Amino acid sequence: MIDLLLIGATRFLVGGGAQWVGCEPAPRQRIYFANHGSHLDTLLIWAALPRPLRGRTHPVAAADYWGGEGALGRIARHTLKAVLVRRNGGAHADPLEPLRATLAQGESLIIFPEGTRGTERLPGPFKSGLWRLAREFPAVELVPVYLENPGRAFPKGAVIPVPIACATRFGAPMRLGPEEPKEVFLARARAAVSELAG
């Protein structure tokens, strides 16, 4: 019930219509990776997926923000079924370990390779996590996603979203090439998201 309320509120306030440009929604294991400009981003992608896919697609979120006992934490854990990552877990902690465990169970992920929210229209440089996961899970499809206007609709520091139309564009799946260097792959992945901006 809460999931339907979240989706309904998101669509009412900012639209967030799905545009499947390079692929179709399908029950394949995927990593959806997108630009990151707002706390709306996860909801926009999650709401754009058909209900059967939402049940097995987990957004990755920072535990220090989304892992508390309040309303945000409950929504993240119980409704979105987020994979929580500790960004400051100490010298020996690997933040990708919970993501690996989720992928090993055959589930899909939503990630933001920039690692933090940006203010520009196009994504900033990608961190290495996407490349590492692509190398360790070569059978998983990597689907670029471009989110239009979420930073304007829900800027940092805002309490409620502004009714500015947003859109979610899904591109063609990509894979890590044989022996493809990390820097080349990350630049190609970033370009795949940027190209969806039009």
Q: How many CB atoms sit inside 10 A of residue 32's CB?
A: 25
Q: Please report, for the domain that includes residue 54, its CATH number.
A: 3.40.1130.10
Q: Tell me, yes or no, whether 190 lies in a domain.
A: yes
* Domain, as residue range, for 35: 14-195
pLDDT of residue 4: 63
Total domains in the fold of the chain: 1
Residue 66 is predicted with a pLDDT of 58
pLDDT at 88: 67
> Please, what is the Cα angle at 191 between 190 and 196, to 5 degrees?
105
Query: Which pLDDT belongs to residue 37?
Result: 78
pLDDT along the chain (198 residues), means of 10: 63 74 95 89 89 93 68 67 76 83 97 83 93 97 91 67 81 96 97 94
Residue 6 lies in a domain: no
User: Is residue 153 in a domain?
Assistant: yes
Query: Is 113 a domain residue?
Result: yes
Asked if residue 3 is part of any domain, the answer here is no
Q: How far apart are the first and last CA of the chain?
A: 35
Determine contact, residues 40/166, Cβ cutoff 8 Å.
yes
